Structures are given as C-alpha cells and as structure tokens.
Amino acid sequence: MDLEKPNLKNWRTQPHSAWAFRNVREIIPTAEIQNNPKKIWKLKSKQVSFKKECLIAMGKETALDAVVIAKDDSILYEFYANGAKVEDKHILFSVSKSLLGLIAGCLISEGIIRKDDQITDHLPELRGTAFDKATISHALDMRVDVDFDEDYTATEGPIIDYRYAANWNPAPESMQNHDLKFFFKSLSTKQGSHGGNFHYVSPNTDVLAWLFEQASGRRYNELVSDYLWKPLGCESPAYITVDRSGGMRAAGGVCAIPRDLARVGLMLAHNGNKEGKQIIPKLWLKEIYDSGDEDAWKNGTFKEFFGSRSMHYKSKWYVCNNDGKLLHGFGIHGQYLFVDPVKKLAIAWMSSEADPLDPNLTDRTLKVVDEIRKALA
C-alpha cells in the first residue's frame, strides 16, 4: 500500500518530514528571500582530520539531514543524509527567530526602532491585547506575559489556532479567513505584567516581524535579504512561509541551504564582520553575549531541554556559558546554528527528528558539538 504523500496535515511527522522539511514550498505558500548572485561569499574547502564517527552515529540516532562545519573562511566538513542535497532549502524552524534577532539589532542601530518602544506604539491594532505595554525588548527576550502554552503535542487551544492562522495546518471552514494578525488580536495576558521569567511564545516573533515591516516600510522577507542574505554573499535565495494574507512566519518559516546558514554563523563568529564589512553591530552582539538574565532563564519554561548548563537567552539567541561562550539558535525537530566566537567556528545542523522536542537528543547534540569544538581547537 502506497504511503500518503506529504501534505499540510502530515508534513511535520515521519516518514513525510524528511522530504517535506526540504520541500516546504511544495506544501505552504512562501515569499522569496533574495540573494545577490553576483556577489557570492566564496568559502574555501579545507580538509581537516578529526573523528567523524560521532556525527555518523548521531545521524543514525537523530534523523540528521545535513551538517556544515565551517571555520574562519573555509568549509571543513559537510554531511548529508536522508536524501538531502547541498542545494536543498531546509526549514530552520525556530532558528528563524535568531535571524530576526540580528535584524532587530540593525534596525535599532539605524534608529528605525528602539528596543524600549512599546509594541503598540508601532502596532496600535494590538492595544487591549496581550501585547499592550509590552516592549520590543520584552518580545525579543521572550518575557511578554501571554496566555499561550507552546505545547507541540497539544490537540486544542491557542497553539492549534496559531497553526491554522499561520497556514501550517489545514484550517476548519470556520477559520478559513483567519490569519496571523487576526490571531494576535485574540491573545490576552496571563498574569498582567511583562518582563518576568523566560516564557517561550512563538507568536512574539511574528508580531515583531509585522512591527519591523510597519516601522521600516519594507516586507520582512526584504529585510532578511537586505540585512543578511545580500551583504553576506549567500549563494542561494532562501524563502519564508506566509499565511493566507501574506503575513510572514518569522518565528519558524525560513528555509535555506545549510551552507548559507553556516555563512551566517561564520559572520557571527567574526563579531558580526564579513571580510572587513560590519554586517551586525558589534554592540548588539556584545549585548547578546553579556546581558542576558540568567535568573529569568533558570525560572523559565525551557531550561529542562538544556540540563544543568549555565545559560541565558537574549534577543532570540541561546548563550551557553560553560567552557567558553557558545551562541546558538535552536529549532524543533533538531535544527541548530552553533557559533563559537573564540574558535571562529560555525556549525549549521539540520534534522528531521520524530519529536518536536527531545531533551535527550538535545543534550546528545550539544555533547557532540562540544566534541567537535575540542577537536578543532
């Protein structure tokens, strides 16, 4: 009996996900993130000797699709499995949020927005909702008080309505006209005050993408192109999923080839600089590394996925403080971008793990990355 083809109902489940995660635009409408094909950042190929068995074993254990390890200006190692190829644009899920965090730094540096601006200063449509009196900084740091539970196994509640609105699940007839903006307006506060403990809520990021559009006069996919893909010299266009009204799913919908995600990491490993050109403001990266609230993290909703590691979360980035700083973006089903600023090392990691979140696999992945960092010291 033939398996059902990947579709909007099953695309995030195995065995469909291995194909669907690198062919998202066959299932969901998207908007292009343009690169500049005339100015590609040509990375060198440099062979290094380190034990790759840990990656091969990890691939069998976690449905690893692709890994690109890069250092300085060179690709040291590439790994592809599950039918994945160099040119495949793999969904990043919540690593997409980390890209938005970089764009925020650029917009703030240019004076287009301020991090202490209230969200409703730019989006008056959200007055009277959960986002009333919340600042851009609150949303960047996941400290907005929203009555929303990011439970990926839920079968009802706001997270299901969110998926309908984002065009990620087939919506019932009664919700066919609901989009992300409609959904944002339905959210209310939980306790009534912002700036408390870390509370992971994906819609915060989509709200910021809408705010960035309003403040800059540009669509969010254009901002990703203008501040990242073009100046970085990415070798391939990326794309982002959109809702039925064209609203951008900045929280999880960016799809890109692994090499280009590694380029983002290399730029960050060089303190936001690419071949002498500053792409991301140094002060913004310093703030990400040094000013996160560890207590807000410890008392928050995600710490169990990272064990006893000393960590904080700042502007959509996770920062591990054990054994030297390790910056990373993290997405469900095993998506990561790791950045070691001391070793000038970047690791783009893409998977199609069965479960959205698995603390054991997250811990295993971090341990393998630590092995790689030590081997390439």
Mean of pLDDT values over 44-71 = 79
Percent of the chain with pLDDT over 90: 83
CATH classification code of 17-112+218-375 = 3.40.710.10
Alpha-carbon torsion (78, 241, 219, 280), positive or negative: negative
Q: Is the pLDDT of residue 66 over 70?
A: yes
Summarize pLDDT for 43-57 with one digit per residue, the tens. 999 877 666 666 666
Residue 134 CB contacts under 8 Å (≥ 6 apart), including other chains: 118, 119, 144, 145, 194
Residue 242 CB contacts under 8 Å (≥ 6 apart), including other chains: 28, 29, 30, 31, 167, 248, 249, 253
Q: How far apart are CA 242 and CA 209, in angstroms?
A: 12
Pairing of strands 317-320, 238-241: unpaired
Q: Which class for 353: exposed (0-12), middle (13-18), buried (19 or more C-beta within 10 A)?
A: buried
Residue 121 CB contacts under 8 Å (≥ 6 apart), including other chains: none
Mean of pLDDT values over 259-263 = 98
Q: Is the pLDDT of residue 37 over 70?
A: yes
Q: Is the pLDDT of residue 28 over 90?
A: yes
Q: How many other C-beta atoms are found inside a 10 Å radius of the C-beta of residue 53?
A: 9
Residue 371: what pLDDT?
Answer: 87
DSSP string, 239-256: EEEB-TT--B-TTT-EEE
* 0.75 surpassed by pTM: yes
Summarize pLDDT for 115-157 with one digit per residue, the tens. 999 999 999 999 999 999 999 999 999 999 999 999 999 999 9
Q: How far apart are CA 263 and CA 339, in angstroms?
A: 11
Quickly state the pLDDT bin for 1 (edges 50, 70, 90): very low
Q: What is the average pLDDT value for the chain, to the nearest integer?
A: 94
Quick one: tokens of 38?
């005339």
- DSSP percent split of the chain into helix, strand, coil, nearest 5: 35, 15, 45
Summarize pLDDT for 97-121 with one digit per residue, the tens. 999 999 999 999 999 999 999 999 9
Q: How far apart are CA 251 and CA 33, in angstroms?
A: 15
Pairing of strands 317-320, 311-314: antiparallel
Summarize pLDDT for 337-364 with one digit per residue, the tens. 999 999 999 999 999 999 999 999 998 8
Strand-pair partners of 318: 313, 328
Q: Is 37 helix (H, G, I), strand (E, B) or coil?
A: coil
Q: How far apart are CA 342 and CA 358, in angstroms?
A: 29
Q: How far apart are CA 117 and CA 136, in angstroms?
A: 6
Closest CA to 63 of 7, 20, 8: 20
Report, in angstroms and rounded to the nearest whole number, the Rg of the chain calculated over CA atoms. Answer: 19
Q: How far apart are CA 358 and CA 305, in angstroms?
A: 7
